[in-house]
Structure 1
Amino acid sequence: MKIAVVIPCYKVRSHVLQVLEAIPDTVERVYAVDDCCPDHSGDFIESHCQDPRVRVLRNPVNLGVGGAVISGYREALKDDMDIIVKVDGDGQMDPRLIPYFARPITRGRADYTKGNRFYRHESLRGMPKVRLIGNALLSFLTKLSCGYWSLMDPTNGYTAIHAQVLRELPLDKLETRYFFETDMLFRLNTVRAVVRDIPMDALYADEVSGLNVRKILPEFARKHLSRLARRYAYNYWLRDFNIGSLYSLMGSLLVVAGGLFGLGHWLSSVIQQTPATSGTVMLASLPILVGTQLLIAFLHHDISSTPQDPLHPQLTPHPVSP
């Protein structure tokens, strides 16, 4: 299969040449995307890189890392590439791992692979504690909103995807900035693509993250909630109606009914200063307990419904890119 690499380039002049030099010979094309970089990364690469595989793309305006990757994706599809790997240009991702990211796809075991810096304990020693805790929390939120329960490190941008699966995704609707990787997982789940983690080490150099945690935290929470609601509605009510639909519906109704009943009687007992009877307490707690068990059963059903059969072997080759 023909492998292409997309490298978003924004303020990466100090590392990008080393990244380009380390790309394996098995890669056929390299798309370095100058995302309206103030350092003119595209000109710098063209002046200093002699690798004939490297092609510089330029975005007229800054589109963010997601927008830069999408630009590279579109060119790779036009050039009829089979597997497209995304590698950052800041030196945090070892290009020598590209064959390991492509291997599960070439062997028909996955449609999309992504890096996981949490797989080995030794690889976490260089990770700042703030990033470690933040990634753990984001991983749980992503499991809920995207439905890939076996994955960790959702913000890891070292990825590979089969071109046939990429053509099934609405590239014009993907998030273009920091939520890009998570939105990719959400879109992949809607088409039932198989995603696998690839163990990798965390590398940190002298780069400075432009991520403002306080600023993006409310935005991330809102977007995760939106994806969770859309995935639930699509998978359990629009595309299919199954036992998980009943578990979630009955469980939610029982928990809400028991909670409202108990709250109402608790307020009444406080106002009237009379303790609630044991029967009233049981009538409030029993629906909550049963409803909680049903919601746990729904969660188990959702985990067991994670896609297992790769999508791309089932797709008809598309000779014309979108």
Structure 2
Amino acid sequence: MYKGNRVAVVVPAYNEERFVGRTIESVPSYADRIYAVDDGSTDGTWREIQETARRLNEEGPEPVAADGGQHDGSRVVCIRHETNQGVGAGIKTGYYRAIDDDMDVVAVMNGDAQMDPEVLPHFLDPIVEGRADYAKGDRISRRENVGEMSSWRLFGNRLLTRLTNLSSGYWKTIDSQNGYTAVSVETLEQIPLEDVYDQYGFLNDMLTTLNLHDARIVNVPHRAVYGDEESGIVYRNFVPKLSGLLFRNFLRRLARRSTDRSYQPAVAAYALGMVGMLFGALSALRGVSRALRRRDDASVLRSLSGLLVSALVFLAGAVLDRRANEHLEKGFETDAPAYDADDHGTDE
């Protein structure tokens, strides 16, 4: 238990036999439950999860319920998908179990041992103190936290972050692909969790879903941790799928927000800008074709001017959108004290 709240940690894993056991062992002792979810691995991940769980459950103290009595079940819970369903599906399985077990807060620490357990209190504090509903990690806003992240990966992360800002409405959110998160169970019960994307775009889809339910979000800066693990992302499939997801979510958000008076100016500017850019682009193509045949440069300039005006209207929509969502963004958890194992505010 952490500051009077029951805390669960979901550890999703797919082909992480070398790292998942270490990840489970690293979860701080104040976590009441650990849901280790094997998403249909083809290596020894499931065996490693079972062996680690057996050892920790035998060595650990008898679980204590929130009311001070004993609760049924082990601290480390092993869950297995018979087939690979996607990282989002694994996290959602853990979320459902946390809801069923009456937890208060659920964190996610991926089974690749890249998430430092010592900073977990910085994710939990904004939620248990009522300042935020969802806390997410941020490895890229501070240069000292980037660590060994490659320039290519950093560029891709920043680009996806900007696209996710536009798609989700959370304009201050950094490092959209960071899976180190924590969320209140109350928030999970309020959103259509079953509809959130099951694959690698889960994090991006989750942000849009949270925005449409007015969830408050905080960024938690932390250092990037990398070892010799390998990414399971196939970029030739990931990039097109995620691009389509982000665009659909952007349109979904505009449709839902169109009835909200505080968002209507942004929605109107976005719509006018998109329609104008579409017709402007078509007009520019016709103008270029005409100019090549007749050497009529004036038509090209008129088309480009219309396209530029439409783009400026779209950007005005982004500015209005950002202002409309300011109340949901709680900035950065920059005032979090350094983690001290002897004084982390937990309840024994």
Same fold (TM over 0.5): yes
1:221 correspondence with 2:228: no
Indicate the SS of the match to 2:78. strand
Partners of 1:112 and 1:66 lie apart in 2 by 16
Contact 2:20 2:49 (C-alpha < 8 Å) held by counterparts: no
Structure 2 counterpart of 1:171: 193
Partners of 1:128 and 1:260 lie apart in 2 by 39
Contact 2:269 2:314 (C-alpha < 8 Å) held by counterparts: yes
Do the aligned partners of residues 28 and 303 (structure 1) sit closer, same or farther apart at CA in structure 2, a change above 3 Å counting?
A: same
Partners of 2:320 and 2:50 lie apart in 1 by 52
Indicate the SS of the match to 2:32. strand
Do the aligned partners of residues 154 and 255 (structure 1) sit closer, same or farther apart at CA in structure 2, a change above 3 Å counting?
A: closer
Q: How far apart are residue 259 of structure 1 and its match? A: 5.5
1:1-322 to structure 2, matched below 5 A, reads 1-38=5-42, 39=44, 40=46, 41-50=48-57, 51=60, 52-235=74-257, 237-240=258-261, 242-255=264-277, 264=286, 267-268=289-290, 270-273=292-295, 275=296, 284=303, 287-306=306-325, 308-309=327-328
Aligned residues: 307
How large is the RMSD of aligned CA atoms in angstroms? 2.6
* CA deviation map 1:241-297 (0-9, x unaligned): 622233234444555555656655664454345x466xx788656644543432222
Q: How far apart are residue 5 of structure 1 and its match? A: 0.7
Partners of 1:265 and 1:62 lie apart in 2 by 50
Structure 1 counterpart of 2:69: none
Q: How far apart are residue 207 of structure 1 and its match? A: 1.0
Contact 1:33 1:68 (C-alpha < 8 Å) held by counterparts: yes
Q: How far apart are residue 140 of structure 1 and its match? A: 1.4
Indicate the SS of the match to 1:27. coil
* CA deviation map 1:41-89 (0-9, x unaligned): 3322234323452122222332222111111111110111110001112
* CA deviation map 1:108-128 (0-9, x unaligned): 221101111113212213112
Do the aligned partners of residues 46 and 125 (structure 1) sit closer, same or farther apart at CA in structure 2, a change above 3 Å counting?
A: closer
Contact 2:24 2:52 (C-alpha < 8 Å) held by counterparts: no
What is the identity, as a one-letter code, of the residue corresponding to 1:300? V
* CA deviation map 1:8-59 (0-9, x unaligned): 1333333333323332232211111222333123322234323452122222
* Unaligned residue ranges in structure 2 (runs of 5+): 61-73, 330-348
Partners of 1:281 and 1:12 lie apart in 2 by 56
Structure 2 counterpart of 1:320: none
* Unaligned residue ranges in structure 1 (runs of 5+): 311-322
Contact 1:86 1:157 (C-alpha < 8 Å) held by counterparts: yes
Report the TM-score when normalising by structure 1: 0.85
Contact 1:194 1:307 (C-alpha < 8 Å) held by counterparts: no
* CA deviation map 1:220-256 (0-9, x unaligned): 2222221122122222x34556222332344445555
Contact 2:11 2:24 (C-alpha < 8 Å) held by counterparts: no
Partners of 1:261 and 1:211 lie apart in 2 by 39
What is the identity, as a one-letter code, of the residue corresponding to 1:29? R
Report the TM-score when normalising by structure 2: 0.79
What is the identity, as a one-letter code, of the residue corresponding to 1:213? Y
